[in-house]
Structure 1
Amino acid sequence: MAAVRAASAELGFAEAAPAWRLRSEQFPSKVGGRPAWLGAAGLPGPADLACALCGRPLAFVLQLYAPLPGRADAFHRSLFLFCCREPPCCAGLRVFRNQLPRKNDFYSYEPPSDDPPPEAGASLCLQLKSGAHLCRVCGCLGPKTCSRCHKAFYCSREHQTLDWRLGHKQACTQSGDLDNTVPDHNFLFPEFEIIIETEDEITPEDVEKEDESEIVGSMGEVPEEELDSMAKHESREDTIFQNFKTKIAQEPEQILRYGRGIAPIWVSGENIPQEQDIPDCPCGAKRIFEFQVMPQLLNYLKADRLGRSVDWGVLAIYTCAESCRLGTGYTEEFVWKQEIADTP
C-alpha cells in the first residue's frame, strides 16, 4: 500500500483472484478464506482468537498489507481482522498487527514474482515455515491434534468436531496427505483480493435545509431552548450522514478506507469514540486511526446466506502510533464498532 497523503484516503475493493495471489509470499490484502499469515512465528493462539462474549472461535474477515515507508522494521506489515459469526452472538471483534524487516527468516529479500508459480494448483498447506501447524477448519494456530491419526490439527474442540463430522472421520485412517481432503466447512467467508485505489476528491453537495416554519409548526408549544438543542442535534446527525453518503457516492463498492492518522467517516453521529475511548498501546504510545471497514463488505461476505447475522455500520481500526514491536509475534490492536442501528 502506498504512502498516504495528508487528509487523503485510499479505497479498497473486493475482486476475484487466483488462489496463488492470495498466499503469504505474495503479501496480499484479502477478504475471507484462511489468513495468509505474515510472520510464521508468534501467531495469536486459540485464546486470542476466541470470542470474548461467547467463547467460540472467531472467523477471519480480512487482512491488509500496510508497510510503513521509511521504517526498516516494518518493511512488511499486515493487519488481520477477525469476528464472531456464531448466532446469536456475532459480536466479538479482534485485530492483530505483524511486521517484519525486509531481511527475515520467512521471505526472499527480493519482491515476489508477478507470474504464477509452477505449483500454482498445489493443495492447501497447513504447516508454516516455523513448523507451526494450522487448524484444518479456520487456518489459525492449531495446537490440538487428532488422537487417532496425529496428522490433523485444530484450534479448538469445536473445529475438531466439525471436521470429524464433515469428512475427517472417513479420511482419518487413509494414507497420504490430509491437506488434499480438507472439505468446505461453511465456516470461512468467501475469499477475494483487496485492490487499492486512491480516492478522487469529491465535492460535497449542498444539503437542502428543512423549512424552519414547518418544524416549529409541528412542534407546538415547545420551549425555545429545547427547540435549539434538537435542531443542533438533527443538523449534526444530518451533516455526518450526508458526508458519509457523499464519500461513498462516487465509489459505492468500496469495502474499506485506508488513511493512517486521518479522520474516519462515520455513518451516524451516535457512538463516535472520544479520545479516552481508544486505549493506549501496551508500549505506552497512543493509538491512531488506520483504516475502516465499510458496510458494503457485508455483501461480499454472504453472511445472510448461511443464516448468520454479522453486521456493522463502520468498523474503525486503531493501531499503535509508533507501530511498536512487542516481541516478534502478533500485537493486538483496537477495533471500534459503530452499529447499523446507530444510523439515522
Structure 2
Amino acid sequence: MASSTQGMTLIGLCDGELDSKKYHPSYLTNKVGGEADFSPVIPRQFPRCSLCGAPLAHVVQVYCPLEASPYHRNLHLFACPGSGCSGRTESWTVLRSQCLETEAAAAAARTSSRPAPAQEAPLAATDWGDEADDWGVEEEGDEGWGGGVKTDGQTQEIPASPKEASEGPPAGEMDVSCQLQALHLGETWDPPTFRPFFISVVEESDLGGAEGGLEHAQKLLREYERREGASVRDLEDGDGGGGVEKYEKTKARHGDAVFSRFMKKISLCPEQILRYCRGGEPLFISEPPPGWAQGVSACGACGGSRTFELQLMPALVSLLQRTDRSGEAELEFGTVLVYTCRSSCWSSGSALEEVCLVQMDPDQKLFK
C-alpha cells in the first residue's frame, strides 16, 4: 500500500461471493479464489507445484499500486491443495505483475477490435495501493483461460487439424508424439478453482471503535484464555520498554509467546483474511526459522532486497472451498507471509516471482 502510509495496516475482509453471472472481475478487482485476472499486457500464467507438479489453484488476487508510481500493480498467490503439499512453502507461488496505464488502454483497444468478447474497462478502480480506502467494487471484463496446455509456466498449443492428425509425425518423432498424446489424454490441465469472493478493507486503527465484532472477539479471547491458561489481556503490545519483558514472561500453556501475541493482535477482528502493510512488520503465528528476515532471497530480476508486504490469515482457510467438489484436501495454513522487491522493479514481460513463507497453526497439534 502507500509509502506515505507506511506502517499503517489494512485489514482485508470477505465481502460476499463473486457471482460470475453478475460480475466480471478484472485485474483491478481484489478477490479470493476464482481465476487469476492478469492485466491485458501480461501473458496468462499457470504455475505448477514444485513438489508434485500439479497445477496450482489461485488463492488471492490483490490490486496494489504504489504511491507516485505510474504502474498498475498486482499480486497473485497460488497454492497446491494436494494433501501431501498443503501447508508447505514449496507448494506456493507468488507472482507480481505491473503495467502502465497507456499500455493497458492500448491493449484494451486492440482487444476490443477483435470479434471475440473483449475485456471491458472496470467501473471503478479499487485497490490496496496508496490512498485506497475501499475494495470489493464490482469490475467488468474478463476472458476465459484460453487454449493450450500449460507446461512449466508456458502454454503449448495442441494441433487439432484433421489433416495433421491423419498425416501423423515423422517416424523419428512417433514415440515422443505418442507420449505427449497419452499425457494430454490422461491428465487434467485445468487448475483446481476455489469459490470466488470479493475482498473489502478497513484500517486496523479503526477497529477499536467498531462494536459489531467486539462481542464475538471477546468470546474468542475468553475461550482461548481458558484453554491455554494465560491471560491475553495482561500482555503488553511488545513494542518496546517494559512491555517486552512482561510479554516474554507471560507464556501460554503450550509455551508459545509468539502465538499468544498473534491471538491478541487479531482479537479485535478474528474474521480478517488478509493483512497488508508494505514495509511494515509481519505478524508471525509461530517462531520463524532462524535468520529468516535476513535470509529472504534477493529479487530475481534486479538483485535488490525484498520487503514484507502482506500476509494471509487463518480465517481465509474456511473460505477456500473447491468448486469441483472433488473431495480432495483443502488448503491448510496458519499464515502466509509475502515478501516483494523493495523497489518493485519492472520491465515489460511476464509476471515476476516473489517470495513467501508458510506457517502452520501451532495450536493444531493440541487437537491431534
Per the shorter chain, which TM-score range? 0.5 to 0.7
1:206 aligns with 2:224: no
Query: What is the aligned length?
Result: 279
1:243 aligns with 2:243: no
Conservation of the 8 A alpha-carbon contact between 1:126 and 1:135: no
1:112 aligns with 2:122: yes
Pairing 1:23-42 to 2, within 5 Å after superposition? 23-24=25-26, 27-42=28-43
Identity level (%):
28
Conservation of the 8 A alpha-carbon contact between 2:10 and 2:203: yes
Where does residue 147 of structure 1 map in the other structure?
160
Q: Which moved more, 1:140-149 or 1:326-335?
A: 140-149
Distance change >3 Å, CA 126–CA 54, structure 1 → 2: same
Where does residue 195 of structure 1 map in the other structure?
200
Distance change >3 Å, CA 186–CA 4, structure 1 → 2: same
What per-residue deviation string (whole Å, max 9, x for no partner) do you get for residues 184-221 of structure 1?
Answer: x892111111112211267883239xxxxxxxxxxxxx
Q: CA deviation at 1:158?
A: 7.1
Where does residue 101 of structure 1 map in the other structure?
100
1:329 aligns with 2:350: yes
Query: Could you tell me which amino acid in structure 1 is paired with residue 95 of structure 2?
Result: F
Distance change >3 Å, CA 186–CA 52, structure 1 → 2: closer
Q: CA deviation at 1:276?
A: 3.1
- In 2, Cα distance between equivalents of 1:278 and 1:134: 36
- In 2, Cα distance between equivalents of 1:57 and 1:186: 5
Q: CA deviation at 1:68?
A: 0.7
Where does residue 300 of structure 1 map in the other structure?
319
Distance change >3 Å, CA 107–CA 67, structure 1 → 2: farther
Distance change >3 Å, CA 134–CA 332, structure 1 → 2: farther
Distance change >3 Å, CA 275–CA 269, structure 1 → 2: closer
For structure 2, the 5+ residue unaligned runs are 110-119, 125-136, 164-180, 209-231, 237-247
- In 2, Cα distance between equivalents of 1:341 and 1:149: 57
Q: TM-score with structure 2 length normalisation?
A: 0.64
- In 1, Cα distance between equivalents of 2:342 and 2:261: 26
Where does residue 86 of structure 1 map in the other structure?
82
- In 2, Cα distance between equivalents of 1:157 and 1:293: 38
Query: Could you tell me which amino acid in structure 2 is paired with residue 113 of structure 1?
Result: L
Where does residue 50 of structure 1 map in the other structure?
48
For structure 1, the 5+ residue unaligned runs are 128-132, 151-155, 165-184, 209-230
Query: Could you tell me which amino acid in structure 1 is paired with residue 201 of structure 2?
Result: I
- In 1, Cα distance between equivalents of 2:92 and 2:186: 24
- In 2, Cα distance between equivalents of 1:142 and 1:319: 26
Where does residue 279 of structure 2 map in the other structure?
261
Q: CA deviation at 1:33?
A: 1.2
Q: TM-score with structure 1 length normalisation?
A: 0.68
Conservation of the 8 A alpha-carbon contact between 1:312 and 1:337: yes
SS in 2 for 1:106: helix
Distance change >3 Å, CA 322–CA 299, structure 1 → 2: same
SS in 1 for 2:310: strand
Conservation of the 8 A alpha-carbon contact between 2:26 and 2:122: no
Q: CA deviation at 1:39?
A: 4.0
Conservation of the 8 A alpha-carbon contact between 1:39 and 1:98: no
Query: Could you tell me which amino acid in structure 2 is paired with residue 65 of structure 1?
Result: Y
Where does residue 69 of structure 1 map in the other structure?
67
